[in-house]
């Protein structure tokens, strides 16, 4: 599944770390992707570091996998990771299927996995 197909099928509803998945049709998915890219262009300096809703174990998992809001590896970030869940419309931070809490689209962790075709 490529990135665009992935984004067309999944988006985040809720910003407290709870992840809900919903299906969209192709046109809605295209709009979602366009909105996300516009949000990113408008605000590149936001942070996804509010961990107040997480348990100690969930915070520890972020640390274990060395999550960071800014990827140190060119070409590898959360938006092209197969585990990324795109932000709710109007939100900047997305989610992750493995790591709880807000996830920056430009973020990275050591379990990054490339999206496949």
The residues binding ligand SF4 (CB under 6 A) are 67, 78, 81, 83-84, 96, 98-99, 103, 107-109, 111-112
Smallest distance from the beta carbon of 12 to ligand SF4, in angstroms? 12
SS3 41: helix
Smallest distance from the beta carbon of 27 to ligand SF4, in angstroms? 25
| Residue among 30, 40, 39, 25 at smallest CA distance from 3 | 30
Smallest distance from the beta carbon of 44 to ligand SF4, in angstroms? 17
Smallest distance from the beta carbon of 86 to ligand SF4, in angstroms? 10
- Determine the Cα–Cα distance for residues 92 and 104; give it in Å rounded to an integer: 7
| Residue among 93, 89, 92, 113 at smallest CA distance from 102 | 93
What is the total residue count of the chain? 117
Is the Cβ of residue 25 or residue 75 nearer to ligand SF4 in the bound state? 75
Is the Cβ of residue 11 or residue 112 nearer to ligand SF4 in the bound state? 112
């Amino acid at each position: 599944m490529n990135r665009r197909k992935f984004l067309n099928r999944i988006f985040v509803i809720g910003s407290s770390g709870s992840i809900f998945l919903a299906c969209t049709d192709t046109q809605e998915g295209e709009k979602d992707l366009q909105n996300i890219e516009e949000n990113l262009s408008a605000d590149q300096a936001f942070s996804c570091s509010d961990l107040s809703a997480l348990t100690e174990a969930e915070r520890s998992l972020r640390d274990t996998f060395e999550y960071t809001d800014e990827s140190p590896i060119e070409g590898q970030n959360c938006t092209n990771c197969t585990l990324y869940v795109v932000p709710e419309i109007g939100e900047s931070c997305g989610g992750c299927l493995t790591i709880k809490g807000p996830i920056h689209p430009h973020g990275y962790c050591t379990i990054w996995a490339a999206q496949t075709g």
